Amino acid sequence: MEKNKLKIAVLDDYQNVAKLTADWSSIEDAAELVIFNDHLFDESQVAERLEPFDVVCVMRERTPLTPSLLGKLQNLKLIVSTGTRNASIDLKGAEQLGIEVAHTGYVNSGATEHTWAMLMAIARHLPEETQSFKNGKWQKTVGTDLKGKTIGILGLGNIGKKIAVIAKVFEMKVIAWSENLTPEICEPLGVTYVDKKTLFKTSDFITIHMVLSDRSRGIVSVEDFNLMKSSAFFINTSRGPLVDESALINVLQDKGIAGAALDVFDVEPLPENHPFRTMENLLATSHIGFVTEDTYKVFYEDTVRILKNWLFKI
């Protein structure tokens, strides 16, 4: 690396698409740019890798910027994070260290679309039927109807409201619960407010759409899973730690529910030997709900714009 040139790191570009979705030429003219496609779990290795850099650009919450890590990055002046918020960045610590933090825009349709794709896939057993077809067989399973079924939505925010609208199109009964939700919020949407226990006991499909916080962490517990119908499905495309992972593993292993669809996990990337990797009643994807062409275009074009403004400012 050149001694006097500003150094910029772009982390966790898993698909190697950062340069395909934005024009980085102006950045490369003004600074030394390094894009990393791999992911490091060990904080000491992350610190060693990032120590020379003045700027770190992170993709969502893939690499946590913890207080201890930030304290080791003596050259760091700017963090650019994709998305409008990133719970894995120690904002107070960055402020105390004089590190500026900037966020890009976001396309919020991807998570909604992916949630419904997963719901449809588990209801109609699409992975099993696709594999059966490729193996030369024909009609292996019997699908679950959506019309007339009850979908329970945990969290009726921006995404939860969109899920409710889609469910109505499929003529499903929509119920919802969260700690701050009220019947007055639900009524204009044609959604029925219920308590948490009722939601888990009566829903045929349950999908969670909450922001991860200290209060919401582990909000779906073993007691909740024990209330579910044996024919019900559970879907999580929000954040893994919202759910007691060991409880979900147990209920799936015991066939206590019909199945689950997950796009998020406690540890990401998910370890290769994790129980979720081999469960027949689990449909899982690698946190790709937000991974779309339009979203990445916004993420990386905004990152370049932020970097250009910062470079000119200094």
Could you report how far apart the first and last alpha carbons of the chain are, in Å?
20
How, if at all, do strands 192-193 and 173-177 pair? parallel
Active-site entry in 113, 268, 274, 305: 268
User: E-assigned strands of the chain?
Assistant: 7-10, 32-35, 55-58, 78-81, 100-103, 150-154, 173-177, 192-193, 205-208, 233-236, 259-262, 282-284
Catalytic residue among 61, 209, 239, 245: 239
Q: CA torsion, points 71, 106, 296, 88, in degrees to nearest 10?
A: 20
Count Cβ atoms below 10 Å from residue 62 Cβ, excluding itself.
17
Contacts of 283 (CB under 8 A, 6+ apart): 118, 121, 122, 127, 259, 260, 261, 262
Q: Is 287 a catalytic residue?
A: yes
Catalytic: 95?
Answer: no
Catalytic site positions: 239, 268, 287
